[in-house]
Amino acid sequence: MILTVTLNTALDITYRIPSLRAGSSHRVSEVTERPGGKGVNVARVLAALGHEVTVTGFSGGTTGRVLRDRLTEVPHLTDALVPVSGTTRRTVAVVDARSGDTTQLNEPGPAVSHAEWFAFQEVYEDLLGSASAVALCGSLPPGVPVGAYAGLIRTARAAGVPALLDTSGAALRRGVAGRPDILKPNADELAELTGSHEPLRATQDARRRGAGTVVASLGPQGLLAVTPDARWHATPPARLTGNPTGAGDSAVAGILSALVEHLPWPDRLSRAVALSAATVLSPVAGEFDRTAYEELLPGTTVTREATAA
Amino acid sequence: MILTVTLNTALDITYRIPSLRAGSSHRVSEVTERPGGKGVNVARVLAALGHEVTVTGFSGGTTGRVLRDRLTEVPHLTDALVPVSGTTRRTVAVVDARSGDTTQLNEPGPAVSHAEWFAFQEVYEDLLGSASAVALCGSLPPGVPVGAYAGLIRTARAAGVPALLDTSGAALRRGVAGRPDILKPNADELAELTGSHEPLRATQDARRRGAGTVVASLGPQGLLAVTPDARWHATPPARLTGNPTGAGDSAVAGILSALVEHLPWPDRLSRAVALSAATVLSPVAGEFDRTAYEELLPGTTVTREATAA
């Protein structure tokens, strides 16, 4: 199975309203609620592709119960979340029907105790015994040490399990030093990590900081990957408009699913690009449109770029 | 005891953020959560004043469970909420620390079935047997007939229990025809009901539509009351700045607490005005500051106005 780690799981709530006006009162016409956090999103895409996937991380309180109840409904997905005494956070996405803009409000997440953090690490090590790959995704809740991901990557390496890291800020800066096999930053995260806004330079810099391969997601420009051996640029067949929420998580699922099927980098990248694009096109934020995915996949372009000096 | 009815209870969530920018992502620095819906707020103020109060209406789902758990912590308050298969709504108040503005997002509430509505009416009739007054407050959830309040007022009259109605829109228009003893609209509700933006004219019109006494809350201008015998204007000692959330619910609690203590209208109104003002001054939205209340009470002014023609 593929293991995904979401230390700061969330109950993602989406409110649709005709138009958001700051300082006013709004009746919400449509409410949707689903399990969230980046690793949970990655797991849902992997499960939809038919992969057996196990979700770990923390959950607690009433929102945590709702989240776990909803996860039981997903085929191919096993819930191995570790209970915490705090309450799983909510995120609220307010979608303005007129402008199409989404305003996001993210709660900080529960405080995790030392004992809970140690309990998680034991569960994690056990799960690695049957994992073919692990994705470490998203922000750290209060109480989890900022160097957490570096330690989890080292544990994965000791177990012979390839690890992908997708996070931001200090958790990314400290995590990359643990030498993940794959790092998947977006353009902003890459610039924050390296200080460079030039994607190729920043991607190469991120490799020097410890990542085996860096796959940078550049929005509509697709993916730029620098592996130990080569440099690749993967692009979707056409410029797409839609909701980019979850496109990065779908790219992670594409990379990992192809990795565990022993496919080479060009196939991993075309799958990642097609899944991302099919997520942007989907009417439901963070879901991917399967028909669009299957139609887009043959049209994605992956080019090997000349390696300079 | 005093009975308060909240057909559309809510779990009120407050998010504090540095500054709300539409279309952006925000980390919420502070989350608070409390039982809500206008009748629940009225009950909390009555309980804080030392009155025995019973809360009825509907609750359901995980948010309903959280709401009921929190109500058990309130002294003098008895929970007689009727279970529904749907889920109690959330309201989200986003407080912008820079501007002080509050942006409100209100879920619609659970769909109430015929059977649930009938079950509620039986519970309500039983509770009236030991009630000295009843407050009917707030919006109607989907499935409850728009004329609901008129029927509940008639049941109260048959039981000899004075009824106060505080609602808006169609529920107000239809409810006033049930001839509540007291109607407590704010200026907007009054204008919507009567078509007149002139407070005295509108208040008199609302009486003609069926209300025994109309107490109109005019924000910083205090309260205007038209009873069968007289006209009163009650004002706080000074113009106050703060958060007006819940000020109307505190006014309702002030009126009812003085009513069951057999105090005359001037005392009911001064108590309502002082409680409202102490709620505006409180740092926590919807709570009242007890010290401020006790200080403000002697300074409130109630004048009897000449009755024209």
Is A169 inside any structural domain?
Answer: no
Q: Which of B14, B29, B89, B105 to mutate to test the interface with A (most CBs of A within 10 A)?
A: B105
Q: Are residues A37 and A121 in the same domain?
A: yes
Total domain count, chain A: 2
ipTM > 0.85 for the complex: no
* Calpha distance B68→B71 (Å, rounded): 5
Residue A197 belongs to a domain: no
Please report whether residue B170 resides in a domain. no
Chain A residues near residue B25 by CB distance under 8 angstroms = 103-104, 106
Boundary of a domain, candidates A144, A165, A199:
A144
The residue-averaged pLDDT of A258-271 equals: 97
Inter-chain CB pairs, A–B, below 8 Å: 83
Q: Cα distance from B309 to chain A (closest Cα, Å)?
A: 40
In 3D space, the residue among B74, B71, B207, B51 whose CA is nearest the CA of residue B133 turns out to be B51
Q: Are residues A131 and A37 in the same domain?
A: yes
- Asked if pLDDT for residue A247 goes beyond 80, the answer is yes
Contact list in A for residue B63 (CB cut-off 8 A) is 62
DSSP state of A139: P
Regarding whether A7 and A137 lie in a shared domain, the answer is yes
Please provide the size of chain A in residues.
309
Handedness of CA A111, A112, A115, A116 (dihedral sign): positive
CA distance, residue B135 to nearest chain A CA (Å) = 24
Of the residues A117, A144, A171, the one at which a domain ends: A144
- What are the pLDDT digits (tens) for A23-74? 899 999 889 999 999 999 999 999 999 999 999 999 999 999 999 999 999 9
Write down the pLDDT at residue A118: 97
Question: At CB < 8 Å, which residues of chain B contact A?
Answer: 13, 15, 17, 20-29, 31, 62-63, 65-66, 90, 92, 94, 96, 99, 101-108
Report if residue A206 sits inside a domain. no
Judge if A113 and A244 occupy the same domain: no
Per-residue pLDDT tens digits for B73-82 = 999 999 999 9
Chain A contact set for B35 (CB, 8 A): none
Q: Which residues contact A236 (CB under 8 A, 6 or more apart)?
A: A220, A222, A273, A274, A276, A277, A296, A299, A300
Q: Is residue A85 part of a domain?
A: yes
Q: Report pLDDT for A308.
A: 54
Helix (H) or strand (E) holding A34: strand A30-36
Are A126 and A1 found together in one domain? Answer: yes
- State whether B108 and A25 contact (CB < 8 Å): no
Instruction: State how far Cα B77 lies from the chain centre.
Output: 16
Whether A50 is in a domain gets the answer yes
Q: What is the CATH number of the domain that holds A105?
A: 3.40.1190.20
pLDDT at A234: 97
* Domain contains B164: no
Query: Which one from B205, B249, B267, B289 is the annotated catalytic residue?
Result: B249
d(CA B89, CA B127): 24
Q: What is the band of A299 on the pLDDT scale with cuts at 50, 70, 90?
A: very high
- Mean pLDDT value across residues A241-258: 91
Interface mutation target, options A13, A105, A139, chain B, most CBs of B under 10 Å: A105
Place of tokens 């991120």: A206
3-state secondary structure chain B: CEEEEECCCEEEEEEEECCCCCCCEEECCEEEEEEECHHHHHHHHHHHCCCCEEEEEEECHHHHHHHHHHHCCCCCEEECCEECCCCCEEEEEEEECCCCCEEEEECCCCCCCHHHHHHHHHHHHHHHCCCCEEEEECCCCCCCCCCHHHHHHHHHHHCCCCEEEECCHHHHHHHHCCCCCEECCEHHHHHHHHCCCCHHHHHHHHHHCCCCEEEEECHHHCEEEECCCCEEEEECCCCCCCCCCCHHHHHHHHHHHHHHCCCCHHHHHHHHHHHHHHHHHCCCCCCCCHHHHHHHHHHCEEEEECCCC
A289 a catalytic residue: no
- Last residue of a domain, which of A144, A165, A193? A144
Q: How far is A232 from chain B (nearest CA, A)?
A: 31
Kindly compute the dihedral angle of the four CA atoms of residues B161, B162, B165, B166, in this order, to the nearest 10 degrees: -110
A38-69 exposure pattern, b = at least 16 Cβ within 10 A, e = fewer: bbbbbbbbbbbbebebbbbbbbbbbbbbbbbe
CA A198 – CA A183 distance, rounded (Å): 17
Residue type, A136: L
For residue B299, give Cα distances in angstroms to B234, B235, B237, B238, B303. Answer: 11, 9, 5, 9, 13
Query: How far, in Å, CA of B306 to CA of B304, rounded?
Result: 7
Same domain, A224 and A308: yes
Whole domain around residue A293: which residue ranges?
218-309
Count Cα atoms within 13 angstroms, Cβ side, for B64: 22
pLDDT tens digit sequence for A274-293 = 999 999 888 776 788 899 99
Residues A147/A117, Cβ–Cβ less than 8 Å: no
* Chain B residues within 8 A of A62 when measuring between CB atoms: 62-63, 65-66
Interfacial residues of A (vs B; Cβ cutoff 8 Å): 13, 15, 17, 20-29, 31, 62-63, 65-66, 90, 92, 94, 96, 99, 101-108
The per-residue pLDDT for B309 is 44
User: Which amino acid is present at A198?
Assistant: E
Question: Which among A21, A22, A27 has CB closest to B108?
Answer: A27
Domain shared by A2 and A135, yes or no: yes
Of B13, B66, B108, the CB nearest to A62: B66
Pick from B103, B186, B188 the residue to mutate for testing the A interface (most A CBs within 10 Å): B103
**Interatomic CA distance for residues A10 and A91, integer angstroms:** 6
Judge whether residue A309 has pLDDT over 50: no
pLDDT tens digit sequence for A155-181: 999 999 999 999 999 999 999 999 999
Please, which residues bridge with residue A12 across strands?
A34, A91
CA distances from B28 to A96, A171, B169 (A): 20, 19, 33
pLDDT averaged over 10-residue windows placed end to end, chain B, 309 residues: 98 93 91 94 96 98 96 97 97 91 92 97 98 97 96 98 97 97 96 94 95 94 94 90 85 98 97 94 80 93 79
Nearest to A96 among B17, B22, B99 (CB): B22
Q: CB neighbours of B10 closer than 8 A, spacing ≥ 6?
A: B35, B36, B37, B40, B67, B88, B89, B90, B91, B106, B107, B109
pLDDT digits (tens, 9 = 90+) for A104-158: 999 999 999 999 999 999 999 999 999 999 999 999 999 999 999 999 999 999 9
Residue A248, pLDDT score:
93
Residue A208 lies in a domain: no
Q: Do A123 and A3 reside in the same domain of the chain? A: yes
pLDDT single digits (tens) B230-276: 999 999 988 777 778 889 999 999 999 999 999 999 999 999 999 99
With CB atoms and an 8 Å threshold, state whether B106 touches A25.
yes
Q: Which of A31, A102, A105 sits opposite B94 (nearest CB)?
A: A105
Q: Decide if B99 and A26 are in contact by the 8 Å CB cutoff.
A: no
DSSP-derived secondary structure letter, A298: G
